[in-house]
Amino acid sequence: MINLNTERLIYPFTAIVGQEEMVLALILNAINPRIGGVLIQGERGTAKSTAVRALAALLPKIQVIRDCRFGCHPRIPSTWCSECHQRFIAGEKPETIEKATPFVNLPISATEDRVVGTLDIEKAIRFGLRAFEAGVLAEANRGLLYIDEVNLLDDHVVDVLLDTAAMGVNIIEREGISFSHPARFMLVGTMNPEEGTLRPQLIDRFGLSVSIKSITDLKRRILILKRVLDFENDPYRFIKTWENCEKTLSNRIVQAQNMLPRIKITHENLEMIAEVTSQFKIEGHRADLVIQKTAIAHAVFNNRTHLEPSDIHVAAQLALPHRLKRKPFDQPFELPVLEDTVKTIIYPERAAKLQEILNDKRDPLTIQDPHNECGFYIVG
């Protein structure tokens, strides 16, 4: 939650104006980090960093085993590090404490050793596992790992981060000695495409991707100005004003996380997902899995234990744009084409109501509601 005693006051997540795709992609990854993270592409000054930091401040505290440097979950032994397992086998009962959800900002100058950690070979031979010096991946376990200007980070380091995010474990091997620890985290990368891009192979590894632009709507620009000025003039009062909205969203995320094991997936759901990815000739099966996980997160966020076509629709919009195959001199793929094609595939009534569906230009991601003091509702 928001802590007014921290030195750096964080602009509330629910006070962000617009940028609905980015907001939703972050929320869904917070519900299920196994979606694979978010790549946010956009020009300067479009609230990319603000949104990421705000989400981290919004997330609830987590329970961890006291004195565990990896923040192991006390009630899920299958995810414990080797040190927690050894203490448990020795008869030590884990003591539980609460701490804030970790937020780690990775500098673009970070080396591989700083990211994965280091093993002191001599000490490892003489004293065992505690010769491991934890890196960024250990600090980020069960939290949020943020990389600003991810396109400027060394490609090999990005590869390591994405591999670890996918596996949920960090494995370090040096001179025949290995050490592993849990590393489950939500990965968020932001970048300005004008300053260079990532290799296609790396972009594909991010679960979701959103491209954002400056808001041009006059009323929204005025609202942004007003809120930013209010925050700068009296941040404590502004944060207090949005406290209920922050708590509401935080509780909704926790509720959705608890509902994940109860979700029911039908063969028809899987058929829809496969049909969408086949239609766009998506290589591999990563996109199918990401769409499935994202659709599930969207369903439970809307308090449902079953998938509806709209869940798959939203998931496809967030998971496919950065995976659409283009040749070097092809024109950029137009998102309205993606939108129309997805609509015709997903909705069962497409044959009878094709034109009506194509004419419906409402954004399926969010609907602004004047009666909602927290800014937006996510539709189901």
pTM attached to this predicted model: 0.80
Mean pLDDT of 127-137: 71
Name the pLDDT band for 345 (thresholds 50, 70, 90): low
Category of 45 on φ-ψ map: left (φ > 0), alpha (ψ -120 to 50) or beta: left
Tokens of 362: 């409402």
Tokens of 194: 């004008």
CA-CA distances (angstroms) from residue 134 to 70, 144, 183, 200? 8, 16, 11, 30
Q: Which of 6-10, 71-75, 207-211, 221-225 is the least confident region?
A: 6-10
**Which residues participate in catalysis according to the annotation?**
286
How confident is the model over 258-315, as pLDDT tens digits?
999 999 899 989 988 998 888 888 877 888 999 999 999 999 999 999 998 889 989 9
How confident is the model over 176-220, as pLDDT tens digits?
777 788 888 888 988 888 887 777 777 878 889 888 888 888 888
DSSP 147-192: EETGGGS-HHHHHHHHHHHHHTEEEEEETTEEEEEE---EEEEEE-
Is 50 exceeded by the pLDDT of residue 140? yes
Task: List the one residue out of 246, 271, 282, 264 whose CA is nearest residue 348.
Answer: 271
Token pair 């997902």 in the structure block, residue: 273
Is 90 exceeded by the pLDDT of residue 67? no
Q: Mind listing the domains of the chain with CATH numbers? A: 17-61+100-212 (3.40.50.300), 260-365 (1.10.8.80)
Is 90 exceeded by the pLDDT of residue 150? no
Per the prediction, the chain carries an average pLDDT of 80
Mean pLDDT of 34-46: 85
